[in-house]
Each structure stands twice: as C-alpha cells, then as structure tokens.
Structure 1
Amino acid sequence: MIAAGRALAVKRPPQQDRAHQTRGRLLDVAGELLAEVGIERISTNMIAARAGLTPPTLYRYFGDKYAVIEALGRRLMDRQNAVLEAWLVRHASVGIAAMADHIGDLLTQNAAVTRAQPGAVWILRALHASPQLVHVRLESHRHVTDRLADACALYLAGIDREKLWSRLRLAVELGFATDEMLYEEDRISADAALADVAAMLRCTMLNLASPPSACGRD
C-alpha cells in the first residue's frame, strides 16, 4: 500500500526551464524550512507560502510533504554521488592503494557538500525514520557501493564479487554514519573523527588485496 501511495505522490521532474526553476525554488524553500521547524511541523502550505506560490502550484510538482522531502533527499544524494564520481576520476585509475590513501578526501568533500544543503540534517533524519523514504538512502548507499566495487574489482582478479560488495557496503555505511553523527555529537572533533574513520576505511581497502599488516600506520 505504501508503494502505491508513493507512486501517486512522486511526480516526474518538469522539463521546461520555468517549471524546473519553480520546482527548484520549492525545494530550496523546503530545505530552509526543515532547518527551522523540522519534519513534523513542516507542511506543504508552509512551503508554498514561503515560496510565494499557491498550494495548487506546489501540488503540480509534489503530492505531499513526504514527496518534497524525498526530492530533497534525492537531490542531496545526487550531489554526494557527484563528489564520488569526481573522486573516482582522480584516483580509481591509479589503483586501490591510491584510492585508500585518498579516502579522507572523499569523506571531507562529502561532508562539505552535505552541510552546504539547507536542512540537510533533517533530510538525513527523514531518510532514516520515515518508512516512505528509507528506500532513497538505501538506493544511494548501494549505488556508492556498486561504484566502489566496480573500481576495486579491476585490481582484484578472481575476487568473490559478493564478498567484495559486502565489505565495501559496510565501509560506505560507516562513512555516512560518522558524518551524520557529527551533526549531534559535540564531544568529538569533526576533523579528528573523519581522520579516524578515513584510517579505518583505508585499512579496509588495502586489506582487499593485501594481508592485514598492510593497513598499519607509518
């Protein structure tokens, strides 16, 4: 029943420039309002009013507030994926060791693009807590795992693809979870936390092709 309802609520992004701009304006406003009032209080009427539009105009693009938040989530995930693709272009062709040595750059850049989006913390919370929205986060994290697995598999002849994917899936979740934790945990330095996680993930990547001793620090 939820899947059917979501199919009705989520509408195809507009193709015309003006309509695309209007949709983008609604998403920008929704992100700002999420940062101010949170998931429970935000409403489609509130979003429309802040954007200077009528509710019927909003409903041309989104069926309900969860469809708005889903679109915000997908936009955020797309921006995170763009960071990943640029990172892969720079490092994947050099080898697993190069990717491992620069995993901290990926974490830092991903955190920066996430924090640049208004309401990001509430978007991430919604993608965890709302049954209608968890698929957005799951699809994105699986996509990131797929891309990393593709890049690593080129250097791991004969490796079990399922085992590779499972290990990288855990690494992906750790990276995202740490970034989300830093929105709330003020007893840990963000730079230190990301550096520690980068060291863990570097070890994980190096161990895909080498003995465990390969992850020792200098």
Structure 2
Amino acid sequence: MTLAERRPPQQDRARQTRERLLDVAGELLAEVGIERISTNMIAARAGLTPPALYRYFGDKYAVLEALGRRLMERQNAVLDAWLARHGPAGIAGIADHIDELLSENAAVTRAEPGAVWILRSLHASPQLVHVRLESHRHVAGRLTDACLPYLPGIDRDTLWPRLRLAVEIGFAVDEMLYEEDRVSAGAASAQVAAMLRTALLDLTENAS
C-alpha cells in the first residue's frame, strides 16, 4: 500500500462520504480535466475540508485510481451477470450475445460521472495504467473460464491471449465513440460484436 492509498471505510456514514467524494470528483473531472482537478477543489465542491478528504485519499491520483476501480467494478458486475445468463449455453450462447454485453457495458460506463475522463486518466497517467491493465486482464480471465470447458482442444495459455485481444478491442471501440461522431454507436457495436462472434466460433472449429 502506498502513502496515497487509504483502506476503504467500514462504517456506513464513512462509506457514503467516500462515495460522495468520488461522485463529486467525477463531475469535476468532466468539467476541468485531469491536469486541473485537485483535492482542494474536490473537497470544496463536496463541502468538506481538505483534511477530511485526506482521511480517504492521499492525493488526487488516489482519487482517480478509486474512480477507475469503481468503474471497473461496475463493468465487472455487468460481465458477471451476462456470463450467468449466457455462459451455460456454451460458445454459441456466448458468441450470439456479445452485442448485449457491449451495449450493457457502454450503458453502465456512460452512467458514471466523468466516465470519459476517468478512462482517459487510466491511459494518460503512468500512476494509473495498472488499474486498466488489471481490469482488462480480469475480464479476459473471466471469459477464458467461461469458454474453456467448451473447447477441449485448446489450453488456457492459448485461449487467454486471444480473448485478451478481444477484450481490448471491445473497450477500445467504446472509448472511441466518446470522440468519434462519424460512426454511430449502434453500427460500431454491431460490427465489433459480429467480428468477435466470428472469432469465438472459429475457436470451436480449431478445438474439434
């Protein structure tokens, strides 16, 4: 644990304060960007003193990391629910509903205060790159766990890298749509889903 990190609070009131700080930070991030946001600014908007904020976060990068982790946890919850619905149907069931996963993931991301700036901070700040990397690896691992039982001819070390690439493509397209207004979200989602569906179904041929 670094000096900037704090253990998540256990009491309800403290948890609510921490969530309030993160909501405020997300809103401010959307208004002023990564460089200008500060702990003093977050504390003032939340109606707290800076020392009160420092009980939860040691610096602004700790706030940004917590924002990133909260967003990734919410995305992971979408993934887990989707796998529970479609994983039991095997590779075909998973492949046929990729568009649903992409759509639900995009919706939960856009509902997050300051989502686009949170994502940008996870790319732009060396202190935060590990958050995005851990999340994408986690998603690739969950997909690997779901697919592997149906692919007896493929081992985990072969499957995981392929799914890791698919995960990166899915997230990259969603992030692109925050800036690219010449591609509709629906069309992009459909094309990526079709591409990833084909890639998954191709695995079944290689496994047979």
TM range (shorter): over 0.9
Q: Alignment partner for residue 44 of structure 1, among 11, 36, 39?
A: 39
Paired position in structure 1 for 2:29: 34
Counterpart of 2:165 (choices 170, 175, 180) is: 170
Q: Is it true that 1:74 corresponds to 2:69 in the alignment? A: yes
Equivalent residue of 2:178, what SS? coil
| Counterpart position of 1:202 | 197
Distance in structure 1 (CA, Å) of the matches to 2:6 and 2:204:
44
Deviation (angstroms), 1:138 = 0.3
Q: What's the offset of the Cα at 1:162?
A: 1.1
Residue 135 of structure 2 is aligned to residue 140 of structure 1: yes
**Distance in 2 separating the partners of 1:157 and 1:56:** 56
Equivalent position SS for 1:184: coil
Asked if 1 retains the 8 angstrom alpha-carbon contact of 2:148 and 2:155, the reply is no
Distance 1:10 1:198 in 2: 38
Kindly tell me the number of residue pairs found equivalent between the two proteins.
206
User: Are 2:106 and 1:114 equivalent residues in the alignment?
Assistant: no
TM-score scaled by structure 1?
0.93
Segments of 4+ in structure 1 off by > 4 A? none
% identical aligned pairs: 79
Coordinate RMSD, CA, aligned = 0.8
DSSP-derived class of the 1:8 partner: coil
Measured after TM superposition, the shift of residue 160 of structure 1 is 2.1
Residue in 2 aligned with 1:83? 78
Per the TM alignment, residue 161 of structure 1 is displaced from its structure 2 partner at its CA by 1.2
Task: Report the equivalent of 1:98.
Answer: 93
Please give the TM-score of this superposition, normalised by the length of structure 2: 0.97
Q: Residue by residue, what CA displacement relative to the aligned partner does 1:120-178 show, whole Å, maximum 9, x if unpaired?
A: 00000010110000000000000000000000001111312111001000000000000
Show the counterpart of 1:156: 151
Gaps of 5+ in 1: 1-5, 212-218
Aligned 8 A contact 2:144 2:163 in 1:
yes
Give me the whole-angstrom Cα distance separating, in 1, the residues matched to 2:128 and 2:5. Answer: 11
SS of match in other structure, 1:210:
helix
For 2:5 and 2:45, the matched residues in 1 are separated by: 21
Letter in 2 for 1:88: L
Match of 2:3 in 1: 8
User: 1:16-67: per-residue Cα shift (whole Å, max 9, x none)?
Assistant: 1111111011000000001111101100000000000000000000000000
Taking the aligned partners of 2:118 and 2:71, their CA distance within structure 1 comes to: 9
Please give the alpha-carbon distance, in whole angstroms, between the structure 1 residues aligned to 2:111 and 2:37.
20
Report the equivalent of 2:60: 65
